[in-house]
Amino acid sequence: MNITRRDFLNGALLALGSTLLPPFVLGKEIEHLLADDSYPPRLNGMRGNHPGSFETAHAMAWTGKRDWDAVKEPDGTEYDLVVVGAGISGLSAAWFFQQQYGKDAKILLLENHDDFGGHARRNEFVLEGQMRVSYGGSQTIQNPGRYSRTAKSLLDSLGVTLDRFERAYDRDFFSRHGLKPMTYFDKKTFGRDVLLPYTFTDFSWGVPGISAAGLGAEEALNRMPLEARAKEQLLRVLSSREGSLDRIDAAKRLQYVKTTPYFAFLKDQLNVDDPQVLRLLRPLPAEYTGMGADNLSTLEAMTFGLPGITEQAVGRAIGDQGGSLSPEESEPYIHHFPDGNASIARLLVRQLIPKTASGSTMDDIVMADFDYHRLDQPDSPVRLRLNSTVVRVTHEGPAQKAHGVSVTYVTRNQAYRVHAKTCVLACYHVMIPHLVPELPQEQKNALREQSKAPLVYSTVLLKHWRPIKQLGLGAAECPGSLHQLMLLDYPVKLGTYPVSDDPDQPMVITMSHVPLAEQYGIPPRELFRQGRFRLFSMPFSDFETAIKEHLGGMLGAAGFDPDQDIHAITVNRWSHGYSYQGSRLYDPEMSPEKGPHILGRRPFGRITIANSDAGARAYMDAAIDEARRAVDELPRLA
């Protein structure tokens, strides 16, 4: 199979969008049935912020465009609530509103993408009758024991039993198959392809059941394709422990690690500045922070397990602060649905619009088939309208006295307007100043500061995983490659969904990419801006070529042929990725309790603001909690 044919889908998505529009747009006489190859979770090629999902917003934000065709009124319904954005936060807002006002409350969700869930995106593949699913964004229910009462209650109402994951996650999978974490040095960057059972960070917390890599630091260094000077410096980093801050007065060490960039610490304290060493270390925290190691403080680097610094090195300052500098111990990282948190979005939609899918449990949601035609039906109190980019939200009268709001959205370059008593904006905060021009200027300025970190999750369906088994590869850091991290599919069995336990069976792997600037130490918001520009400039073919070269080089020694052994590729491009949580170097005062998001989320008349941006935390529980707050802040309906 020639994967490049997938490029056709990229160009076809705009036309395909018409098949997903509500019936009133196409005309009442048209009843278009979705073909199997247009079922949104099953689309390959460029997904995430896919072509067709952002052009209207960019035209409005970059050029101030508002001259779409004359606005049409699609129906005479006055909704009790319009929600802008059908990600986890938007769906949760609709759910909380329905709990407050009953099943008959009229709710409309408007979503600019061709699928619901936001970053909780489902990637679905079918090969010779076998289905495999994976996550295209939001990955897991992380540390659910620390969830708020609100978030726990929602999960419980959806039928999500956390204990169920104890049985669903196969902790023996990696050891049973002899799979270990490794580091891949690619030929283009390092001169030759080398795959070593050694990693610079600990994978065990993020991949439960995976064993230690195997090689010691010195043996691994001898086999790395690095120059002698780089090996000498890297050995100092890897072997440095308690003595790495000996030249800093003990009373000043804590302040030092908080305010000193990690790369400055390496140079000043360990005399490490070799470009190969910095290139190796830079991408290690990228998937978790949206930034490179050059953007981290020494304290943050320690928290993420980067080499060269330990808590013990900080010395007695820890005791003076009355505690530990290490992060709190996490719960086991096992609370995964096979498609990540897309199953949470699907559970929410199934409760809000019951006719969309059958079933009633967390097990049967994994294989549930959704009828996308039922998302937007006139006889349903809750309607979800895809491919609909909101461009204007205004009060019908002065904000403090208005009895309703008007919401204008665009689909296929045609503007439509709906009316509602209230509105929750569960969308990217940087877009809200463009949507609500009447907001106070100081609130607009705060919202504009909430830039999201771009990232890419590429999911690849392999026809079999025999080379992976042969090489003993369970996960890989790939510091020279476009995709800096590779993970096998999490071994989760729920309901009738199987784990790929036989190497002859299809297997999904996830490869992640975070765009980093050529220059080191660029402030996060500028780093994100440059990264977004690069992602929007890269066609699917660039990612496809990089993935084939990557997997061919990494697995080629075991006979892997990317042209023959890859069945499908889905690139989940999140140019507006996960919520910015702050930086100790660049935003030292920012926290979930303090920062621009506090002012940015302030209610405005009959309009309130949700999304994980509002909590400055890129986690599902933040999206849920902010949805509940936004609904609670709405004016009470009579």
How large is the average pLDDT for residues 441-448? Answer: 97
pLDDT on residue 82: 98
Q: Could you give the CA distance from residue 462 to residue 474 in angstroms, rounded to a whole number?
A: 15
Nearest to 405 by CA among 392, 394, 390: 394
Res 467: pLDDT: 98
At 244-259, the pLDDT tens digits run 898 898 889 999 999 9
Match 């300025």 to its residue by tokens.
445
Which superfamily is assigned to 11-37+49-118+336-448+588-633 in CATH?
A: FAD/NAD(P)-binding domain (3.50.50.60)
**What is residue 59's predicted lDDT score, i.e. its pLDDT?**
86
Predicted pLDDT of residue 13:
30
pLDDT of residue 16: 30
pLDDT of residue 592: 85
Predicted pLDDT of residue 625: 98
Q: Are strands 485-488 and 194-196 parallel, antiparallel or unpaired?
A: unpaired
Boundaries of every domain in the chain: 11-37+49-118+336-448+588-633
Global pTM value: 0.92
Helix (H, G, I), strand (E, B) or coil at 45: strand
The pLDDT value recorded for residue 146 is 95
Q: pLDDT, tens digit, for every residue of 610-629?
A: 999 999 999 999 999 999 99
Residue with tokens 């925290």: 285
**Which tokens belong to 471?**
């090489």
**What is the DSSP annotation of 299-357?**
HHHHHTT-TT--HHHHTTHHHHHTS-SSPPPPPPS----TTTTHHHHHHHHHHHSGGG-
Q: Over range 4-11, report the average pLDDT.
A: 30
Residue 6 confidence (pLDDT): 31
* Residue 512 pLDDT: 97
pLDDT category of residue 29 using cuts at 50, 70 and 90: very low
Residue 260: CB atoms within 10 A of its CB come to: 18
Could you give phi then psi for residue 590, rounded to 5 degrees? -75, 140
Token reading at 350: 């199934």
By percentage, how much of the chain surpasses pLDDT 70?
91
Summarize pLDDT for 414-440 with one digit per residue, the tens: 999 999 999 999 999 999 999 999 999
Report CA Rg, the chain.
25
Q: Distance (Å, rounded) from C-alpha 317 to C-alpha 252?
A: 8
Residue 241 pLDDT grade (very low, low, confident, very high; cuts 50, 70, 90): confident
pLDDT at 28 (0 to 100): 30
- Give me the pLDDT at residue 18, please: 30
Residues present in the chain in total: 638
Q: What is the pLDDT of residue 313?
A: 84
3-state secondary structure (DSSP) of residue 429: helix
For residue 111, the 8-state DSSP code is -
Q: How far apart are CA 458 and CA 487, in angstroms?
A: 11
Please give the share of the chain, as a percent, with pLDDT higher than 90.
81
The pLDDT score that the predictor gives to residue 591 is 85
| Rounded-to-integer distance, Cα 372 and Cα 357, Å | 9
Which residues, including other chains, have CB under 8 Å from residue 290's CB and lie 6 or more apart? 453, 454, 455, 514, 524, 528, 577, 578, 580
Supply angle C-alpha 197, 200, 204, rounded to 5: 75
Average pLDDT of the chain?
90
DSSP string of 576-592? EEEPP---TTT-TT-BT
pLDDT mean over 471-482: 97
Confidence of residue 329 (pLDDT cuts 50, 70, 90): low
315 — pLDDT class (breaks 50, 70, 90): confident
Look at residue 424 in the predicted model and tell me its pLDDT.
98
So what's the pLDDT on residue 214? 84
Per-residue pLDDT tens for 574-586?
A: 999 999 999 999 9
Poorest-pLDDT segment among 74-83, 142-151, 390-399? 74-83
Does residue 317 carry a pLDDT above 70? no
| pLDDT of 31 over the 60 cut | no
The pLDDT of residue 481 is above 70: yes
**pLDDT number for residue 9:** 30
pLDDT at 240: 84
Q: Over 90: is that where the pLDDT of 138 sits?
A: yes
Average the pLDDT over 316-323 and give the result: 50
Tell me the CA distances in angstroms from 282 to 75, 291, 347, one per residue in order. Answer: 53, 9, 38
